[in-house]
Amino acid sequence: MALRITLYTRDGCPHCDRARERLRAEGGRLEEVNLSRTPQAMNEWLKLTDGRRIVPVIVRGGRIEVAPDGGSEVDDDGR
Residue ranges covered by each domain of the chain: 4-62
CA distance 27 to 23: 6
What pLDDT is stored for residue 59 in this prediction?
Answer: 96
What is residue 28's three-state secondary structure? Answer: coil
Q: What does each C-alpha distance from 58 to 5, 7 come to in angstroms?
A: 7, 5
Please give the chain's pLDDT, 79 residues, in tens: 678 899 999 999 999 999 999 999 988 799 999 999 999 999 999 999 999 999 999 999 889 999 887 766 766 665 6
Q: CATH fold of 4-62, please?
A: Glutaredoxin (3.40.30)
Q: Is the pTM of this model over 0.85?
A: yes
